[in-house]
Amino acid sequence: MLPILNQLRVDIEILENPYNLPIDQLFEMAARINKKRSFLFVSKILGKHIPIDPKTGILIGALLANRYLEIVKGEHSSLRNEMVSAFMNEIEDSYCEEPFINKQINPVIIGFAETATALGHAFYQSFHNADYFHTTREQIVGLEPVITFEEEHSHATSHRCYVDEALLNNNREVILVDDEMTTGKTTINIIRSIQKRFPRDMYTVVSILDWRSEENLEEFKDLERELGITIQSVNLLKGRMNASGSPNIKYQAAPTVVPQASQTISTIFIDEVFPEQLTLMNFSSKSWEGKVRHVPYLKETGRFGINSISNSKLNQSTKKMGAYLADLRNGRNTLCLGTGEFMYIPMKISSYMGSGVCYQSTTRSPIYVDNHDHYGARYGLSFPNPDDWEIDQYVYNIPPYRYDDLFIFFERVVTEQDLSPLLNELKRSFIKDIKIVFFNGGLVDE
């Protein structure tokens, strides 16, 4: 039984834990400010809501890839014991970076925005021959998504996929990567969307946690029969859960008084320091109110599709960037903060920045904040998304005085005015040295 704020509780029963991973290393619980679902499994290994060693986020993708190899392909990797030991013992220098799944296995891998963009990318890195893209909540000007689907329980429900349709117009296995499945409805929605336009025989669903009930599992079997497909499931922890109670919580107003903490703010443009290392995609975005931003995206994030051929270059580039930023650290304890869907590249760079580095990301998810042990959101900051002020963003679990310095990573440049609410909120964390890292500041050619 997992109590949440003494008003809501979630009872769980563990059915499968193939690598014997300690549950208390995987997640904590929190209450969502969301009428559609009142609770949240707050991952301690994703690098979203809770800070992690960035190597852990990369390692967990490799562990899932190894489990995929065992379950779907019936093979065993010699790296299994090494990876499990690294996870259990938090061995900093032992995590899987090189691909170990052979070239004959050639899937299309899709990570779910926004929480699993880095997890999907880390999973994909284990393949010698795969394609990867992640779904997005972004609206891209001049492009029509090849598929769309809904995530009903989410705070932001619509997903879009902006890739060349040739990537899906085939009969390759599609692997869907998410951090957690509670009912599996989102997965069913994307499978229906893909199958309608690009029918195929096989899908694999990969998640760290799988809480689907017998009724939910039967819905997947019904879908297999209806569409004439096979759906394989891969996870690191499988069980049953039941939520009871309904806490009466509302949006929490931020404190009106902001500490007058001093901040040193500096700006770094990665595209100026490493002009040949990243590829810009000249697409503009449109906000929810229709405002167009003419700032390029990065191809390497996977939003528009990438192939394993490019992985070696990205690994080398992020290693160079990590070494460069490591020299700019100002203290022993450093927080690296990804933003929204832009998670994997910042996490990868952070893994090369030395010891004492933690990584996490901002999020769209409104979570009730309560400062007590074993609760998943002990501290919280809220601010308008610097990329789109119509969208609220949050960052959790940054205790006051915990970090000496902070690196905030943005895929696309934003103005000082758009950044000011976030920087103002960060004063509550008393981080004196803040570095804003933009990966491109150019304008789209019109």
Q: Please compute the mean of the pLDDT values over residues 216-237 and round it to a whole number.
A: 98
User: Is the C-alpha dihedral spanning 245, 248, 251, 255 positive or negative?
Assistant: negative
Return the SS3 of 279.
coil
Same domain, 136 and 95: yes
Domain with 201 in it = 2-244
Same domain, 142 and 185: yes
Of the given ranges (140-149, 150-159, 333-342), which has the lowest mean pLDDT? 150-159
- Tally of CB atoms within 10 A around 433: 18
In a domain, 293, yes or no: no
In a domain, 288, yes or no: no
In a domain, 290, yes or no: no
Q: How many domains does the chain have?
A: 2
Would you state the pLDDT for residue 260?
A: 75
Amino acid in the structure at residue 202: M
Question: H or E element: which one contains 321?
Answer: helix 311-326
Which residue from 263, 257, 305, 297 is spatially nearest to 280, judged by alpha carbons?
297
* Integer angstrom CA distances of residue 97 from 28, 56, 100, 117, 134: 27, 12, 9, 17, 20
* Integer angstrom CA distances of residue 40 from 31, 53, 428: 6, 22, 25
Where are the extended beta strands (E) located within 282-346? 285-286, 292-293, 297-298, 306-307, 334-338
Would you state the structure tokens that stand for residue 368, as one six-digit string? 């009730």
Q: Please compute the mean of the pLDDT values over residues 410-431 and round it to a whole number.
A: 95
Would you state the pLDDT for residue 251?
A: 54
Would you state the pLDDT for residue 16?
A: 97
Q: Please compute the mean of the pLDDT values over residues 379-405 and round it to a whole number.
A: 95
Same domain, 232 and 122: yes
Q: Count how many Cα atoms sit within 13 Å of the Cα of residue 230 in the half-sphere of its side chain.
A: 7
Would you state the pLDDT for residue 157?
A: 64
pLDDT higher at 38 or 251: 38
Compute the distance between CA of residue 113 and CA of residue 111 in angstroms, rounded to an integer: 7
Taking all residues of the chain, what is their mean pLDDT, rounded to a whole number? 91
Compute the distance between CA of residue 346 and CA of residue 361 in angstroms, rounded to an integer: 9
Would you state the pLDDT for residue 446?
A: 47
Would you state the pLDDT for residue 155?
A: 47
Chain segment 286-329, per-residue pLDDT in tens? 987 888 999 999 999 999 999 999 999 999 999 999 999 999 99
pLDDT at 104 over 60: yes
Same domain, 199 and 268: no
pLDDT at 252 over 60: no
Would you state the pLDDT for residue 262?
A: 83
pLDDT band at 19 (very low <50, low <70, confident <90, very high): very high
Chain segment 114-137, per-residue pLDDT in tens? 999 999 999 999 999 999 999 999
Q: Please compute the mean of the pLDDT values over residues 197-219 and round it to a whole number.
A: 97
Same domain, 234 and 275: no
Whole-prediction pTM = 0.94
Same domain, 320 and 418: yes
